[in-house]
Amino acid sequence: MTRALPLTRTSTAAPSRAPQHGRLQAWRRRAVRWLIGRLLPPTGNEVTAGALPPSGIQRVLVCRPNHRLGNTVLMTPLMAELERLYPGAEVDVLGAGAAPRGVYGGYAALGDLFLLAPKAVRHPIATVATIRALRRKRYDLVIDAAAGSSSGKLLASLATARFRLGVDTAGDTLPLHLAARPVHALRWAAGRDMARPMPRLDLRLSDTERCTGRVTLERVLAAAQGGDAPVLAIFPNATGDKRYDEAWWTTFLAELTSHTGPLRIVELVAADGRSRVNDRYPTYFTSDLRKLSAFIEAAGMYISADCGVMHLAGATQALTLGLFGTTDARRYAPYGGMNLAIRSEDGNAAGAALRAAEAIGRWRAMR
């Protein structure tokens, strides 16, 4: 078990919680939450503090109907905690998109995956079929794992269960980081282990997968310059305002290596297959999340902006550094170990590179 380290020491400004959403979207979310709150009054199976029994929980459903890779990976500590508290239980997951298959595939407790389309309302027939399949099962515990999610609350209410736990109802001391919140809520409901260190993000890669990652990395680096220099995997892509352009990355990497010494840099290529740094470095592309995770772990170090691949890297043993300019690092920083969020809202690539080099130096000293 590892703990999340302090996230940054470079800024006192607190970014907004949801910078990617405007006022209209925020109003819509509040309206939907209000409506669902009226349509779905308390049903009597909501768990209160310490009310969840220590035994008799055999069938569990985790509701996290969000297709984003990062949000899917952030649920792995909850999966680990469920295996620890209820080692004989089977855990089904209601998710969205393709990510849950790769992310949760290494968990022995995993049962059925009920996967909605990323835009479920545009696929009504498939959505209804998934919900009907879900309702055919009965659970001992259903966890609405996303605080503030109207769709999660609605879908969790449709499942038949003895107990229902909503993360947003689990007391007044919820942790800020989204990876820790559902674990905290489960412990609150069970009435124990509140001071225990939080599980880290983990894809439960197998020895075979790790071996394949090392072999693939050696193949990619075979023609690269740098001899035995440390390897750094970068993912110079992100959505919207979180993305840094090619010029920023060029300055950042030049400054970084001026502090760390030579690095063998590998670019992880996004789904569109295009390099974001003009093919300046060896590249690696795969659509398989577990292969990508094993490759990052083999590299040993990873840097990107706040994105889903950053959280995927955080679920490996690689040092993961996240560059945060617009999103709230307190909630979304790479979680656990010596992983660190680096503030870069001022756009200063040289300053961010210096802070990244310092983090790499501390990590090397601890090895």
Tens-digit pLDDT profile for residues 165-197: 988 877 678 888 999 999 999 999 999 999 999
In a shared domain, residues 250 and 328: yes
With respect to residue 159, please indicate whether it lies within any of the assigned structural domains: yes
Could you give the number of structural domains in the chain? 2
Domain boundary among 163, 190, 217: 190
| Most confident listed range (127-136, 170-179, 224-233, 349-358) | 349-358
Domain boundary among 144, 163, 190: 190
Distance between CA atoms of 118 and 132, rounded to whole angstroms? 18
In a shared domain, residues 169 and 218: no
**Residue scoring higher pLDDT (28 or 335):** 335
* Helix H or strand E encompassing 330: helix 329-332
With respect to residue 27, please indicate whether it lies within any of the assigned structural domains: no
With respect to residue 63, please indicate whether it lies within any of the assigned structural domains: yes
In a shared domain, residues 137 and 214: no
Average pLDDT, stretch 133-137?
A: 90
Query: Has residue 224 got a pLDDT over 90?
Result: no
Query: How would DSSP label each residue in 244-267?
Result: --HHHHHHHHHHHHHHH---EEEE
pLDDT of residue 157: 82
- Measured from the Cβ of residue 172, the count of other Cβ atoms closer than 10 Å reads 4
In a shared domain, residues 120 and 222: no
Domain boundary among 140, 155, 190: 190
Pair 174, 181: CB distance under 8 Å: yes
pLDDT interval class at 155 (50, 70, 90) = confident
- The tens digit of pLDDT for each residue in 30-46 reads 554 444 454 444 567 78
Q: By mean pLDDT, which of 156-160, 236-240, 329-333 is the weakest?
A: 156-160
Residue type, 355: R
In a shared domain, residues 130 and 170: yes
Q: Long-range contacts: 102-106, Cβ < 8 Å, 24+?
A: 102/203, 102/288, 102/289, 102/290, 103/69, 103/72, 103/73, 103/75, 103/76, 103/203, 103/289, 103/315, 104/72, 104/75, 104/76, 104/79, 105/203, 105/290, 106/202, 106/203, 106/204, 106/205, 106/206, 106/290
pLDDT interval class at 226 (50, 70, 90) = low
In a shared domain, residues 183 and 235: no
% of residues, the chain, pLDDT over 90: 64
CA angle 217, 223, 226 (to 5 degrees): 85
Residue 87 sits in a domain whose CATH number is: 3.40.50.2000
With respect to residue 305, please indicate whether it lies within any of the assigned structural domains: yes
Q: By mean pLDDT, which of 138-142, 237-241, 273-277 is the weakest?
A: 237-241
Domain range for residue 67?
40-190
With respect to residue 30, please indicate whether it lies within any of the assigned structural domains: no
Distance between CA atoms of 302 and 304, rounded to whole angstroms? 7
In a shared domain, residues 49 and 183: yes
pTM: 0.85
pLDDT of residue 38: 47
Distances (CA, A) of 263 to 227, 231, 357, 359, 366: 9, 6, 11, 15, 19
With respect to residue 313, please indicate whether it lies within any of the assigned structural domains: yes
Nearest to 267 by CA among 230, 302, 315, 227: 302
Scanning the structure block, which residue is given the tokens 């407790």?
109
With respect to residue 31, please indicate whether it lies within any of the assigned structural domains: no
- The tens digit of pLDDT for each residue in 42-98 reads 567 788 889 999 999 999 999 999 889 999 999 999 999 999 999 999 999 999 999
In a shared domain, residues 46 and 127: yes
In a shared domain, residues 164 and 239: no
In a shared domain, residues 224 and 125: no
Distance between CA atoms of 152 and 131, rounded to whole angstroms? 12
In a shared domain, residues 219 and 181: no
With respect to residue 93, please indicate whether it lies within any of the assigned structural domains: yes
Structure-block tokens of residue 5: 């380290």
Nearest to 320 by CA among 73, 64, 48: 73
Instruction: Classify the phi-psi angles of 64: left when phi > 0, otherwise alpha if psi is within -120 to 50, otherwise beta.
Output: beta
Average pLDDT, stretch 239-245?
A: 88
Distances (CA, A) of 51 to 63, 68, 99, 316: 20, 32, 32, 34
Average pLDDT, stretch 343-367?
A: 91
**Phi, psi at 80, each rounded to 5°:** -65, -40
Query: Has residue 251 got a pLDDT over 60?
Result: yes
In a shared domain, residues 316 and 171: no
